[in-house]
Each structure stands twice: as structure tokens, then as C-alpha cells.
A = this chain, B = another copy of it.
Amino acid sequence: MNATMGWDDDKPHEECGVFGVWNGGDAAALTALGLHALQHRGQEAAGIVTLDEKGLFHAHKGLGLVGDNFGEAKVIASLRGSAAVGHNRYATTGETALRNVQPLYADFEFGGFAVAHNGNLTNAYALKRALVRRGCLFQSTTDSEVFVHLIAISLYSTVLDRLIDALKQVQGAYSLVALHNGALIGARDPLGVRPLVLGRLANGGHVLASETCALDIVSAEFVRDIEAGEVVIIDDSGVRSVKPFGRNAGRFCIFEYIYFARPDSVMEGTPVYETRKRIGAELSRESGVAADVVVPVPDSGVPAAMGYAAEAGIPFELGIIRNHYVGRTFIEPTDQIRHLGVKLKHSANRPILEGKRVILVDDSIVRGTTSRKIVEMVRQAGAKEVHMRISSPPTTHSCYYGIDTPERSQLMAAQHDVAEMARIIGVDSLAFISLDGLYRALGRPARDPAKPEFCDACFTGDYAIPLTDWQDNSDRQLSLLQPAGQ
């Protein structure tokens, strides 16, 4: 739960995207494309491990974007084979070492094994401590290595049994893809917090991916979502399914709909873009206000703003322009640049804003720092009134299930009520969609506190998976090595 902020500043960050393919022809090229389509889920590093027809594994990993690492034909050519798993990583500062880049690979007694993982384990530390006591050596600081060790020491004989043995010991949220010499395996945690979908290639091969947009880019047909708690085994005889945790109702991450997922993805049967527009419309109904224009905070606020504007009958305008050439390099500014703050990324479209009553629509407020700067910019451009509408409920709790959010002490909504937030941000009014409104926009009547259908812990503090590692803080001495540079 690192509070360090990445370069896309004041947003929660998805921690990973995964992709796997079996019988895919040029599996490395397909995986590179799939990871490219999932680039929004992690930009720090990317890796692919392939398996060729001789049973040999091939790997390539690197820091940076998929295109930076897999753009050269010779790299793709070196990753021989028709099966592969791949991974996009979002990582917090200081941990972006190459050794942490997934997929992780290990030589087991039964042969090679590669695994890539999206999510976060909540008892990883406890398990790691026990494994180290047993004599296991950890080489990375990722949760995912825990899976690998648990599989290595399992007393079961088949790979599948060993993997299930491992899954039964871990707690947390995970969607994983794994590859060994006989099959591609996909698995979701018992609550299905993180997404994973299955697709079919024209040639009969199969694909696993975090989102449907990664199926589209490789022209794979959507088959179905992997279910909560399901393990699928894909080999040359087809797709088998195992339910080691029995049948149980899942609680899919509601924030995927609000912000994380790409708008052209469909998650658990619900299209993301349409959902965001419905959330905007619901928000308009809940907290309408007289205004001249509805302006999204780009890019993520656009669909909700469109929904809001249509419902309210107020013109939708691009009053804020985003500069897409912002790289990582304006990170060491002089004082003079620092004062100009958020303007590096956004600029006000003055003719649209001047003299107007403006409704700004954004998807969330985390620390509130960016919101304050945007409001200031909009006012400097001449807006007469500024009303902010947020397409999520107040983010009052940290996520422990795979999303990089600040500690509660830094979450604005955990420290202040809405009126105070409005004052700090500097708006004439501020409103969030209600939790029930959000559920309604997702096609449910309202949230049933006895049996909520989504993981909404960041809004409610209702943590459905135990936070084991955070309840036992007695002994945190492992991994003292500070890699000064690799």
C-alpha cells in the first residue's frame, strides 16, 4: 500500500494487466498486442514468456511500455512458440527493478512454469515469512513470487493440483495466467475482484485477458468471463473448468466501471462506456444545478460528462484540453515551472469558459490536489461559477486488492466532509454520486448491505477479504535489501 504517486498524479492506479494464449500461432506477437491494448493497466514494465513446440521457454522483460520493449521484430522472433503469458506492470517508486517484472519463471522438478498476476495478496507477508523460515529464497519483492514457492513445495504431484494447493493458501484479489509444458491456466480469486475473460481465436486457439479490449485487438471472439473462484485449464483438448472453492457469489471491483477499465471493454456483461454515461445521468438527476456548460476533466471524465449533459439538457463542451505529450521528464522542475503546476497536462479552453457557469465532471477525488488546481485554472479562464460533480462516491478507504491508493490519512474524503472539500477545492458546489445511485446505474435496484454485489470497500470500508498482513505488524524485517540500482 505504497502512497507514492505515479506520473499520472492524483488518480488511483490499476496495478496490472495479464494476457495468455494457447495454440496462438505467433504467440509472442499476439501477446504483445494484447498487452498493448491493456497498457492503461500498467506502464512501468512489460514481460512475455513463451513456450515452443520443443518444450523450451523463452522470456523477454523490460521497463517501460510494451512498444518500447516488444517493438523490434527480432525480439518477437526470439520468443518462439504458440503459447505465451504476458504482463503489464504498474509499480510504485523504488520497486521498479527488473527482477520484479512479471511473468515470473521457475524451473520446477516437473519442468518450467511461468505465471503473471493482477491483484494483491493480503497474506503475502505472512506466507513469505513462513516460506523463508522453511528455507525458501525470495528473489523479488512481488506478491506473485509467493505463488511460485507454494507451488514448488506443494506435496501434490500434478501442476494443477499444486496450483490449487497454492491458491487455497493465499488470501487476496488475483486474476492470474500461468503456463507450463502442458497447458495454459487462468484463475480468479473466490470473489472475482479483478477481471479475467476468455476468448477464442479464428484458428481455434484460446486467449485469456484482463479485458475484452485485448481480445478485440487480436481479433479473438469473446467467449465468457472467467467466474469468481474458477480455474480454467486450456490445452490441446480444449477448455476445462475447475471450481476449487465451490460456488459462491463474486464481488467484482466496482471501480473498474468508474475509472480503470478501457471504455470499449465489456465487463461481466456490462459495457463500460455506456455504464459511465448512465452514471453521469444518474449523477445529474441526484444533484443537478443550473449552469451554462458541462465540461469533463479529460480524458476519463468524458463519458460521465456526456451522460450528465444529456440528462441535464446543458451543452457538453471540451472546456479543458489535455496535452498528450506529457512524458516523465518534467519531473524535476525549476521553481518557476512548479508554480505553473497542473498546466503541463491540462489547459483551459478560455473561449468556452469565460463568463460561464461551469459544471466540471470528474470520476473521483483522491487527494484533491489536482482538482484544486483544475478549478483554479478554470476560474482564471473566466468561469463565473464552478460546480464539481464526481461520478463515484467519496473515496474514504484505501484499496488492498490490487489498486494503488494513498493511505487514508491522505484521502481527502476520509479527512473532510463534502462541504469542507468544496471549500478546499474552491468550487461553488460539490456533489458525489450516491452509493445506491451507482448501483442503480449498474442496473441493480440499490446496494444491499447484507449481500453487496460489488467490492466497494474504497467507498464503504467493507473489506470482504481479510487483511491479514495489516493486522499483524509485529515483524516486518524481511527484504531489507535496498537495491540501489539495477
Chain A residues within 8 Å of B, Cβ to Cβ: 25-26, 29-30, 32-33, 36-37, 39-40, 43, 49, 55-62, 65-73, 75-79, 98-99, 105-109, 111-112, 132-139, 148-149, 152-154, 213, 216-219, 262-264, 266, 271, 273-274, 299, 302-303, 306, 316, 318, 321, 323-334, 336-337, 340, 343-344, 347-352, 477-486
Contact = CB atoms under 8 A, between A and B. Distances in A.
A205 B467 CA distance: 46
B26 A330 contact: no
Contacts of A274: 351-352
Q: How many chain copies?
A: 4
Given A33-B344, A273-B352, A303-B318, 8 more contacts: A71-B328, A76-B334, A107-B132, A135-B154, A263-B349, A264-B321, A299-B324, A306-B316
Contacts of A328: 67, 71
Given A318-B303, A347-B37, A136 B139 contact: no
B485 A62 contact: yes
Contact of A351 (B132, B273, B299): B273
B477 A111 contact: yes
A480 B56 contact: yes
Nearest to A329: B71
Contacts of A68: 327, 329
A465 to B, nearest CB: 26
15 contacts: A26-B334, A37-B347, A39-B325, A59-B482, A67-B329, A71-B333, A78-B485, A106-B137, A107-B132, A107-B480, A112-B480, A136-B152, A213-B321, A271-B351, A303-B318
A78 B482 CA distance: 9
A1 to B, nearest CB: 20
Nearest to A213: B347
